[in-house]
Amino acid sequence: MQSYRFEHFESLEGLKRVEEEKPLPGRNQVLIRVRACSLNYRDLAIFHGTGTIARKEGVIPLSDGVGEVVEIGDAVKLFKIGDRVAGSFFPYWIGGARDAHSNRGVYGAQTDGWLTQYKVVDEETLVSIPDYLSWEQAATLPCAAVTAWNSLQQLRPLKPGETVLTQGTGGVALFAVQFAKLMGARVIALTSSDEKAQLLTSLGADHVTNYRQHPEWSGIVRELTHGQGVARVVEIGGPGTLTQSLLSTAPGGEIALLGFVAEGSPSVDFMTLFRSGVTVKPFSVGSREDFIAMNRALTLSQLQPVVGKIFSFEDSLEAWRYFDSRQQTGKVVISIN
C-alpha cells in the first residue's frame, strides 16, 4: 500500500509518497480501505507550525477520512466487513464533556492520519456514515461538519427564528449556514465576493454582506436585526473579526469561537467585551456521540455537503498546494481509488 508522510516541514515538498506494508487489525480493531479524505485549516496550521497542536516529522497527515471495513479483529462487535465508516476527529472522546484525555491520539499531528490507502483503527473510534453520501461528501464530515453542528447545538441548542451570523465560505461556515436553516434560523452571512454570495444565497442565507466592502460590518448586522444583534456568531476569523462579532451580538447572545483564519490584531477591548453581555465559548469539533447525532440529522434532511474540488490520491501534493493558496470555496477532498 501507499501513504503520504511529512518527512520535513520546510516546504510542501516534504510531503512524500511512500510504499508501506498493509497493517493488520488487532482483536478490537478494524482494517479500513480508505476511500476519501479532506483537508481542514488545522492541517495547514500543523504544517506551518501556527496552530495549538504539536507536530512530528514522519507522520501521515489529515484528520478526516472515510472508507470501508475490509477486515476485522476477533473481538470486534460494532462493525462488519463492508460497512462504510468515518474516523472521529478526537478518536477517544466518546461523549460527554471534553477533558484532558480527549486529545489522545489526534490524527495527523502526533498520530498517523488518513492520507493513506489502508488504516487500522480501534472500533470505538469510528462512526457509520449516511448511506446517501458519496465517499467524497462523507469525507467532509469529521471536522468541519461536526464543528459547525456543535457551534449551533451548544452552549444551548439554537431556537427556530433566532438569527445566526456566519463568516466566509470555508467548510465550517457553509455547514453552519445549512445546519442553521435546518434548525429554522435566520442567517446573515459574510463573504468577500459576489460569486461566493450567490453560493451562500443558494444554501439558504437570508442576507449576505461583503466584508471587504464593509469592514465595519457590525453596523449592517445591527440594521438587519433592528438594532438587537444576533443570537449566535459562528466565529471563524478570530483575531481579525472578534471585535466586530462582539458588536454584532445581542446581549445574552453567544459567540462560538472556532478558528483564527482572519489576519488582525488579537487584542479585544475589555470594555467592549464587558458591555456586550455576550458569552464567548471556544469549541474544538466534538465527540463521537456528537458525530452520531449529527449524522441522524443528515440522514433525515438529506443535506448535501459542499465539495469545492476533488483531487486524486496521486495528486495529493497538488491538493495541499491548492488548499495552502486559500483559493477554495467549500471542502477540498482527496479521492482514493
CATH of the domain at 207: 3.40.50.720
Q: Is residue 148 part of a domain?
A: no
Query: What are the CA-CA distances from residue 4 to residues 13, 62, 134, 313, 323 (Å)?
Result: 11, 10, 23, 9, 16
232: domain range? 155-282
| Beta carbons within 8 Å of 322's beta carbon, 6+ residues apart | 309, 311, 328, 332
Share of the chain above pLDDT 70, in %: 98
Instruction: Please tell me whether residues 89 and 193 are part of one structural domain.
Output: no
Predicted pLDDT of residue 264: 57
275: pLDDT strictly greater than 70: yes
| 150 occurs within a structural domain | no
Verify that 290 and 248 share a domain, yes or no.
no
Query: Does 9 lie in the same domain as 52?
Result: yes
- 179 and 269 co-located in one domain: yes
- Tell whether 83 and 163 lie within a shared domain: no
Grid coordinates belonging to 292: 452520531
Q: Where are the beta strands (DSSP E) in the chain?
A: 2-6, 15-19, 29-38, 64-72, 84-87, 118-122, 126-128, 163-167, 186-191, 207-210, 230-235, 249-257, 279-282, 307-312, 331-335
Say if 149 falls within a structural domain. no
Same-domain check for residues 305 and 320: yes
CATH number at residue 22: 3.90.180.10
Q: Are residues 135 and 175 in the same domain?
A: no
In-domain check, residue 241: yes
Query: Is 57 buried (19+), middle (13-18) or exposed (0-12) by CB count in 10 A?
Result: exposed
Q: Mean pLDDT over residues 21-39, rounded?
A: 97
State which of 264, 282, 300 marks the end of a domain: 282
Say yes or no: 265 and 227 in one domain: yes
- Looking at the structure, tell me whether residues 118 and 23 fall in a common domain: yes
pLDDT tens for 207-235 read: 999 999 999 999 999 999 999 999 999 99
For helices 288-301 and 146-153, what crossing angle results, to 10°?
90
Domains contained in the chain, number: 2
- Assess whether 13 and 97 both reside in one domain: yes
pLDDT value of residue 263: 56
What totals of helices (H) and strands (E) does the chain contain, helices first? 10, 15
215 domain-assigned: yes
Give me the half-sphere count of Cα atoms (radius 13 Å) on the Cβ side of residue 3: 20
67 and 192 fall within a common domain: no
